[in-house]
Amino acid sequence: MSISERFLEVKKRVDEAALRSGRDPADVRLVAVTKTHPASKINEAIEAGAADIGENRVQELLEKIDDVAPVRWHLIGHLQTNKVRQVIDKVVMIHSVDSLKLAREINKRAAAAGSVMDVLIEINSAMEETKSGIAAGDLKQLVTEITAECESVRVCGIMCIPPIAADPEDSRPYFKEAAELFKEMKGWDLPAERFAPTELSMGMSGDFEVAIEEGATIVRVGSSIFGPRNYR
């Protein structure tokens, strides 16, 4: 199958999972994850209808962006504070905020650019040492601190990556937990200009349908669209 065929196939599965769970397919956004894949392949997906593209690393995003058709870029991987300046005017959303320090740097750079950056807070669902993200129990404090002082940052929800699983059903408890936390978050009384919790970013190639059933508003799908990755 070509990349465009695979993209359309994944899009169809996304829509069907939404309908199956009584949701509007328009409420679930498919971010095509392109790490390790060249601009030419990304453009194939864009031609097939991909409107949101996700990259993990700043360097890789910068290397490709000029050769890719205009599209909404998402930074989904761990972000170092010293790289923020380079992506602040390139991406529509940063999915991986996990410290006040990082939020402050995003705030500083967004303010300098005269913009407001939409961010998600990354939750480390199983508290795996190899993954970034904060504990669920620390979410409220971090969001309260960010919204209190970062005028050029808007906290739009949470992102999570459950442990790698062979069976998508193994991810369900983590997705349920994230959805609970997201629901709780929606009730927090924080400044509306800096706090708009509308996005729950969860689900990858192996488990995006389960994630949608549990309430994901953004799924991040790579290998099901672009094939396996060869890391350099």
- Site residues (vs ligand PLP, CB under 6 A): 33, 35, 56, 76-77, 161, 204-206, 220-224
Return d(Cα 78, Cα 147) in angstroms, integer: 21
Minimum separation from the CB atom of position 150 to ligand PLP (A): 23
Minimum CB separation from ligand PLP for residue 26, in Å? 21
Query: Closest approach of Cβ 54 to ligand PLP, in Å?
Result: 7
Minimum distance of ligand PLP from residue 124's CB (angstroms): 12
| Cβ distance to ligand PLP smaller for residue 32 or 195 | 32
Query: What type of residue is 18?
Result: A
Closer CB to ligand PLP, 129 or 189, in the complex: 129
Query: At closest approach, how far in Å is the CB of 190 from ligand PLP?
Result: 26
| Structure tokens belonging to residue 108 | 């500083």
**CB closer to ligand PLP, 81 vs 223:** 223
- Kindly tell me which of 42 and 147 has the beta carbon lying closer to ligand PLP: 42
Inter-axis angle of helices 139-149 and 172-186, to 10 degrees? Answer: 40
Between strands 93-97 and 195-201, the pairing is unpaired
Q: How far is the CB of 144 from ligand PLP (least distance, A)?
A: 25
Dihedral Cα 14, 19, 22, 23, nearest 10 deg: 50
Helical H segments across the chain, by residue range: 3-20, 39-47, 58-64, 84-87, 100-113, 139-149, 172-186, 208-213, 223-226
Between residues 99 and 224, which has the closer beta carbon with respect to ligand PLP? Answer: 224
Burial letters for 97-117: b for 16+ Cβ neighbours within 10 Å, e otherwise? Answer: bbbbebbbbbbbbbbeeeebb
Backbone angles phi, psi at 104, to 5 degrees: -65, -40
Residue nearer to ligand PLP on the CB measure, 62 or 190: 62
Position of minimal CB gap to ligand PLP:
222
SS3 225: helix
